[in-house]
């Protein structure tokens, strides 16, 4: 089975695009997507609990960036931040208000498989102003994965009080490494 994200993640991104560019924008994005992607994300009724191919999701949001953005992936980042705000504020609002960035980030590996049907996320290093994760078990992870994941995680950290977050992606399963290394640092 292809690597999938939970329907709720897809639906908030669809909402983000729809709020910004409306039905006409969606028509433009659909016009550049493959038949497989269209079938996966628009050819069926997707619920919060459905699984959605992560690759099709990324094709959709990268297409939005190419059509409406500057081609610098800022729209991919913005959509991930929006998803973090909607998803995390819904479920973890009170928790985020009282916890520290590292406390929040340390909990993410435990909920990873609620949001993805593949991959093992583990903490490689955790400090009060730094977190390093290893994401393994997803050798065919799609292109631009790190932009989505790191923007979401950094936004979660920001909601938990982190200032000036910066992210990095050192190793990558797409280059044959056994894991992707995701790092987040903040003040
Ligand atoms: Zn990677």
Residues 33 and 14: their CA atoms lie apart, in Å, by 14
Question: What is the whole-number distance in angstroms between the Cα of residue 144 and the centre of ligand 1?
Answer: 8
Residues 72 and 36: their CA atoms lie apart, in Å, by 25
pLDDT of residue 56: 98
Half-sphere CA count of 159, side-chain side, radius 13 A = 24
pLDDT band with cut points at 50, 70 and 90 for residue 116: very high
* Burial of 125 from C-beta contacts in 10 A (0-12 / 13-18 / 19+): exposed
Question: What is the whole-number distance in angstroms between the Cα of residue 142 and the centre of ligand 1?
Answer: 8
Give the pair of three-digit tokens for residue 1: 């089975």
Structure-token match 């973090």, residue found: 84
Give tens-digit pLDDT for 123-152.
999 999 999 999 999 999 999 999 999 999
Domain boundaries, the chain: 4-75, 99-185
Residues with CB under 5 A from ligand 1 (ion): 172, 180
The answer to whether domain 99-185 has CATH 3.60.21.10 is: no
Give tens-digit pLDDT for 48-105.
999 999 999 999 999 999 999 998 999 999 999 999 999 888 777 777 778 899 999 9
Question: What is the whole-number distance in angstroms between the Cα of residue 146 and the centre of ligand 1?
Answer: 6
């Amino acid at each position: 089975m292809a690597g999938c994200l939970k329907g709720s993640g897809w639906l908030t991104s669809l909402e983000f695009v729809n709020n910004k560019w409306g039905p006409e924008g969606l028509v433009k994005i659909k016009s550049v997507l493959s038949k497989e992607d269209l079938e996966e994300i628009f050819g069926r009724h997707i619920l919060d609990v459905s699984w959605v191919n992560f690759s099709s999701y990324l094709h959709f949001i990268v297409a939005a960036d190419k059509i409406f953005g500057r081609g610098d992936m800022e729209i991919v980042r913005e959509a991930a931040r929006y998803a973090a705000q909607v998803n995390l504020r819904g479920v973890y609002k009170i928790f985020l208000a009282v916890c520290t960035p590292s406390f929040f980030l340390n909990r993410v590996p435990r909920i990873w498989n609620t949001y993805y049907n593949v991959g093992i996320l583990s903490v490689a290093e955790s400090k009060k102003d730094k977190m390093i994760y290893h994401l393994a078990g997803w050798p065919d992870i799609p292109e631009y994965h790190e932009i989505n994941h790191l923007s979401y995680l950094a936004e979660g950290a920001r909601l938990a009080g982190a200032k000036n977050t910066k992210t990095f992606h050192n190793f990558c399963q797409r280059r044959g490494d056994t894991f992707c290394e995701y790092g987040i640092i903040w003040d």
